[in-house]
Amino acid sequence: MALASNPVFSPSHDRYSRQILFSGIGEQGQQKLFAAHVAIVGCGATGAAVAGLLARAGVGTLTLIDRDYVEWSNLQRQVLFEEEDAAEGLPKAEAARRRIARFNSQTRVHAHVADLVPANIHSLLADAQLLLDATDNFETRYLLNDYAVEQNKPWIYAGAVGSYAVTMNILPGITACLACIFPDPPSGMVETCDTSGILNPAVNLSASLEAVEAIKWIVGAHDRLRRSLFSCDVWTNEISEIDTSRPRSGCSVCGLHTFHHLSGVARPHITLCGRNSVQIHEHQRPIDFAELERKLQPHGTVRRNDMLLRFDRGEHRITIFKDGRAIVQGTTDVGLARSLYSRFIGS
């Protein structure tokens, strides 16, 4: 397709004119951005920011995957969401899709209210060319790493907690993968948004670095891609880099192609970032919200919309999604969470 045939790429078009002027992008780079399909796993603080940046840059298709819903505490740092989204308890992926449609209707957004697990990862990520991490747990990151290496797809690891931001590009077969740098998941006390808080400038730094690396890859500036694990503490001004330019010899994932996380071995329940919560994701069955509301009303307060149902009983809140997945708030006890799910939702 000739560039002039689409007004989106005309230098006279105001939307991208300043970006096209940048020598690293130009008209051809803008066309590549519009033709690109990027998947973002997680639509919280980092995910919302990077989705907004890429949509404004003109990425043609975004797949957004998130299991959670908007809360008031999110508004301090999650830039795509508004007070109305928190009041309604709108799923983050859907809230992000609606917001992006208001500032760039030319970007196609596929929103999936789902937990990324071995059973759905191939179907949800099959069409994406580039995968971006914006999750809050290493279990999903190791799953992404397994899938990316298996499918030979590039992905970018990114995270932020406290005042600390970190990113790393993974190009399977070329650079180190996540398991090369971190052969085992973190053990012991791990900082989270709940225990250490978070500064929104750290989030935006992480998202900006991830977005610019994604843009480099899309437009073909692969020689400009960072080959390091880059971290920065925006409060102390400490910066560090670890070389990731080559895979580690004997890596179980990119060297031996052993994909334990992709096979679903011992996948745990996940305690969510920023809340006293446990996710129950072992069920994959459709839920009739109207019938469930009728069943639960005698036992507590029930609110629902087309995408989720929220049940409050005492100090606990259960949020149920269409596929039967649930987030139980008010406890980190997996046994108690499963008991509440079984008692009120059914097994």
Boundary-marking domain end, from 243, 268, 298: 243
pLDDT at 334: 75
Q: Are residues 162 and 302 in the same domain?
A: no
Query: Is residue 256 in a domain?
Result: no
How far is residue 169's CA from residue 132's CA, in Å, rounded to a whole number? 9
CATH of the domain at 314: 3.30.310
Q: Are residues 143 and 287 in the same domain?
A: no
Structure tokens given for 134: 């914006």
How far is residue 50's CA from residue 213's CA, in Å, rounded to a whole number? 11
Count Cβ neighbours within 10 Å for each residue of 191-213 and write b for 16 or more, e otherwise: ebbbeeebbeebbbbbbbbbbbb
Q: Are residues 192 and 328 in the same domain?
A: no
Q: Which of 313, 308, 314, 264 is nearest to 287 (CA)?
A: 308
pLDDT at 120: 93
Structure tokens given for 271: 């305690």
- Domain span at residue 311 reads 277-344
**Total-model pTM:** 0.82
Q: Are residues 221 and 328 in the same domain?
A: no
Query: Is residue 316 in a domain?
Result: yes
Query: Is residue 255 in a domain?
Result: no
Q: Are residues 215 and 332 in the same domain?
A: no
Q: Are residues 228 and 330 in the same domain?
A: no
pLDDT at 341: 82
Which residue has better confidence, 129 or 279?
129
* Residue 34 φ then ψ, to 5°: -65, -30
User: Considering the chain, what percentage of its residues have pLDDT values greater than 90?
Assistant: 63
Query: Is residue 221 in a domain?
Result: yes
CB 149, CB 262: distance < 8 Å: no
How far is residue 333's CA from residue 194's CA, in Å, rounded to a whole number? 16
Which tens digits make up the pLDDT trace of 7-40? 454 444 689 999 999 999 999 999 999 999 999 9
Q: Is the pLDDT of residue 214 over 90?
A: yes
Query: Is residue 230 in a domain?
Result: yes
Instruction: Give Cα 267 to chain centroid, integer Å.
Output: 18
CA distances (Å), 170 to each of 73, 193, 237, 257, in order? 32, 25, 25, 15
Boundary-marking domain end, from 196, 223, 243: 243
* CA angle 32–38–40, rounded 5-degree value: 155
Q: Are residues 291 and 230 in the same domain?
A: no
pLDDT at 248: 96
Q: Are residues 233 and 288 in the same domain?
A: no
Query: Is residue 31 in a domain?
Result: no
Query: Is residue 171 in a domain?
Result: yes
Q: Are residues 239 and 321 in the same domain?
A: no
Give the 3-state DSSP-derived string for 249-272, with helices as H, strands as E and coil as C: CCCCCCCCCCCCCCCCCCCCCCCC
Q: Are residues 84 and 198 in the same domain?
A: yes
Q: Is the pLDDT of residue 319 over 70?
A: yes
Boundary-marking domain end, from 217, 243, 269: 243
Mean pLDDT of 136-142: 87
What integer best gives the mean pLDDT of the chain? 89
Q: Are residues 234 and 320 in the same domain?
A: no
Per the DSSP assignment, residues forming a β-bridge with 132 are: 40, 156
Residue 33 contacts by C-beta under 8 Å, 6 or more apart in sequence?
25, 57, 58, 59, 60, 215, 218, 219
Q: Are residues 80 and 205 in the same domain?
A: yes
Query: Is residue 266 in a domain?
Result: no
Mean pLDDT of 60-70: 93
CATH of the domain at 117: 3.40.50.720
Which tens digits make up the pLDDT trace of 162-192? 999 999 999 999 999 999 999 987 654 456 6
Total of domains in the chain: 2
Mean pLDDT of 49-68: 96
